[in-house]
Amino acid sequence: MNYADDNFIKEVSSTHIQWEQMEEFSKLCKEGKAISGISEEEFDFLLQDLANDKLTYSNDSVIDMIIKFILEGTSEEKLINILQNLKIANVDKEDIVGTAYPKYIDGSYYIEIGSDIEKRVRLLSDVFAVLFMFNEKLEDLEYMVLCSLSEATQNRYCANEEFTDDFNNVQIYMMLCDGLYKDNFTDRYIAYAREIHEMAMAFLIGHEIGHHYYGNTTVKPNPGMESKVAELKADAFALDFSFKYLRNAYANNENFYGIHCFAGVYLPLIASAKICKSVFEDEENHPSIVKRLLGVQRGMQKILTETGWEDTKRYRDLLLRMVKFPLQTS
C-alpha cells in the first residue's frame, strides 16, 4: 500500500457515507422517528447492497459516479491522469468546504471535502427540487402537499437537520398522493433533487480538482490577489467540469437538459454562506461568496442560450430568497 492510500484510509471510513446515512435512517425508521416508503426487508437488502459496494476514488458513491462519467467522456491526458489518481475523502472537520493537497510522491492527488458542506448541499438540493416540481402537472392535493414540502425542506436546511417532524409528516402525504394518483409524485421529486445534487457535487469537487489541474498545489499562489485569482479560475474549471459531467451522464440526441441541472452549480457557493463570516467580504486568500457567485453567473451566461440563462438566473434568485441569502445578485 502506498503512502497516499495509507493516509486516505486513515482519514475516511472503510464504508462509504451513503451506507452510513442509510444505516442511520434505518435506525430512525425502526424507532418511529423517520418514515420509509419501502418494507423493512427491502431496506435491509439495500443496506447490504451498499455495504458491498466498492468505491474507487472516494468514500462517496456520488463522487465516484461523477468521476467515472467524466473519465468516459474525455480524451484530455492531463485531466485523465489527475482523475485516475484521485483520492477524495469526505471528512468530519468543522468549517472545511474543500481542500486540495500537494501531489504525493507516488502521483496521487488528495482532496478533502467537508462532511458539513456535503450535507448542506444535499439539503439545499431538496429545497431547490420543490421549485421545479411546481412546473409539473399536479392534482390539487399534490399542490397542497408540495407547499408543505417547500416549508419542511427549508426548515431542514436552516436547522441543518436530516430528519425533522414536519418533513416526516409531509412524506406520509407524499406516499398518499402516490397511492391515490399513480403519477410517481414522489419519484419525480426525488429525480429533481438527485440531479441537482449531482451537479452541485460536480462543481464542489471540480473546484478542488481545478487547483490540481492549474498546479496551485505544486506552486502555491502568493497570498492576496494572486490567490484570489486562482480561486476564481478554479471556479471556472468547476463550471466546465460540471457541464462535462452533465453531457456525459445525461447525453441525449437533442442536447437538451433541464434548467434545474444548470442552476445546481450555484448550490455549493450558496451553502457556503452558512459557514463563512460574511458573504460580502473577501478573506485573505479567497474572494467573497458574492464575487464568486457573480463569476459563475458570467460563466453560465457564456455557456447557455439567452432563454436558458434567464430561466437559470430566475430560479437561482428564487432559491436565494427562499433560504434568506443575504443578497440577491443581479
Inside any domain, residue 191: no
Long-range residue pairs from 73-77, CB within 8 A, at least 24 positions apart, any chain = 73/244, 73/247, 73/248, 74/244
Q: Which residue's entry shows cell 398522493?
A: 177
Those residues whose C-beta lies under 8 Å from the C-beta of residue 170, and which sit 6 or more positions away, are 145, 148, 149, 152
Inside any domain, residue 173: yes
pLDDT digits (tens, 9 = 90+) for 164-210: 989 989 999 999 999 999 999 999 999 999 999 999 999 999 999 99
Q: Which residue's entry shows cell 399542490?
A: 143
Question: How does the average pLDDT of the chain come out, rounded?
Answer: 88
pTM (whole model) above 0.95: no
Domain that holds residue 163: 117-183
C-alpha span between 202 and 256 (Å, rounded): 19
Over residues 57-79, mean pLDDT = 93
pLDDT of residue 187: 93
Helix (H, G, I), strand (E, B) or coil at 110: strand
β-pair type (86-91, 109-114): parallel
Those residues whose C-beta lies under 8 Å from the C-beta of residue 292, and which sit 6 or more positions away, are 231, 232, 235, 269
Over residues 297-309, mean pLDDT = 93
Inside any domain, residue 199: no
What is the distance of C-alpha 197 from the center of its chain? 4
C-alpha span between 276 and 96 (Å, rounded): 10
CA of 60: how far to CAs of 44, 68, 133, in Å?
20, 13, 27
pLDDT of residue 327: 63
Helix axes 185-213, 165-181, angle to 10 degrees: 120
Residue of 67, 66, 45, 64 whose CA lies nearest to 56: 64
CA of 267: how far to CAs of 75, 86, 120, 143, 191, in Å?
28, 23, 9, 25, 17
Inside any domain, residue 129: yes
Inside any domain, residue 285: no
Angle at 33 between CA 165 and CA 170, to 5 degrees: 40
What is the distance of C-alpha 294 from the center of its chain? 19
Inside any domain, residue 172: yes
pLDDT of residue 330: 43
C-alpha span between 293 and 134 (Å, rounded): 25
Inside any domain, residue 8: no
Of the pLDDT bands very low, low, confident and very high (cuts 50, 70, 90), residue 253 is low
Inside any domain, residue 170: yes
pLDDT of residue 292: 96
How many domains, in total, are found in the chain?
A: 1
